[in-house]
Amino acid sequence: MISSWHAWAAVLGRDCQLACRHLQDSVLPLLFFGLVVSLFPLAVGASPNLLARMAPGILWIGALLAMLLSMEQLFRSDFEDGSLEQMALSPVSLAGTVMAKVIAHWCLTGLPLVLLAPVLALALHLPASAISVLCLALLLGTPVFSLMGAMVSALTVGLRRGGLLLSLLLMPLYVPVLIFGSSAVLQAMDGLSARGPLLLLAGLLVLAITLTPWATAAAVRIRLG
């Protein structure tokens, strides 16, 4: 009998390997992020002052939408080929397995978004002083997107128009992260300390890590019937 730690590592490794083979799954959200952000100057005008003021909001909404887009993939192939059922039946805790999948997903979609964000921030004339706060805020916020996304993604996996439903259900839940995330960057731009919102974001992350794996496991069980 293998230990749960080994099973956990195996799921993590397998998901990372799968994602590396289907590289477009990680590249597409990045491309989407870049495109959404570059549409904004075309729509609101290229005035550097205006763009800099809007940059935190644009970048956060862009990252949110890109994460949303990738969430649908999280459980889909495992649901279709029956691996998800095997994971639910195995003696290893389903919450742990799900957590491994979320970590793999975040490393291959969330982390690249965080790395791309400073480049896009420069294009939007965000002051250099705020860029480090932006990265830190995204580093704390995007895992929350992944964790909460996994919960709802498990509920809607395999449904007709599941992607649309997923966005509808998730966006209201993403409101607090969006508020604290963009506020942190705005405060840094204004020369204020961004400590408060960053700590609140960290709090949300801790809360999400504690609660969402159980909810996600319950959602998987419900969908498997």
Partner 1 sequence: MQRLLALKNFYAFAKALSPWLLLTWVALLAYGVIGGLVWAPADYQQGEAFRIIYVHVPSAFLSLGIYTAMAMMAAIHLIWRVKLATIWIAASVPIGASFTFLALLTGALWGKPMWGTWWVWDARLTSELVLLFLYLGYIALHRAMPRPDMAERAGSLLILIGVVNVPIVHFSVTWWYTLHQGPTLSRFAKPAMAPEMLMPLLAMIAAFGVFYVWLALLCARNACLARESTSTWVQEEVINNA
Q: How far is the CB of 57 from partner 1 (least distance, A)?
A: 12
Taking the C-alpha atoms of residue 189 and residue 187, their distance in angstroms, rounded to an integer, is 5
- Report the largest interatomic distance among the alpha carbons of the chain, rounded to a whole angstrom: 63
Among 18, 61, 179, 209, binds partner 1 (CB under 8 A): 179
Contact flags string 143-172 toward partner 1, x per CB under 8 A: --------xx--xx--xxxx--x--xx-xx
Token digits of residue 202:
């960290």
Angle between helices 48-71 and 128-156 (to 10 degrees): 30
Contact flags string 111-150 toward partner 1, x per CB under 8 A: ----------------------------------------
CB crowding 85-94: b at 16 or more within 10 Å, else e: eebeeeebeb
> What is the size of the binding site for partner 1 (CB under 8 A)?
29
Which C-beta is closer to partner 1: that of 44 or that of 192?
192
**DSSP assignments along 112-153, one per residue:** HHHHHHHHHHHHTT--HHHHHHHHHHHHHHHHHHHHHHHHHH
Contact residues for partner 1, defined by CB under 8 A: 151-152, 155-156, 159-162, 165, 168-169, 171-173, 175-176, 179-180, 183, 200, 204, 207, 211, 215, 218-219, 222-223, 225
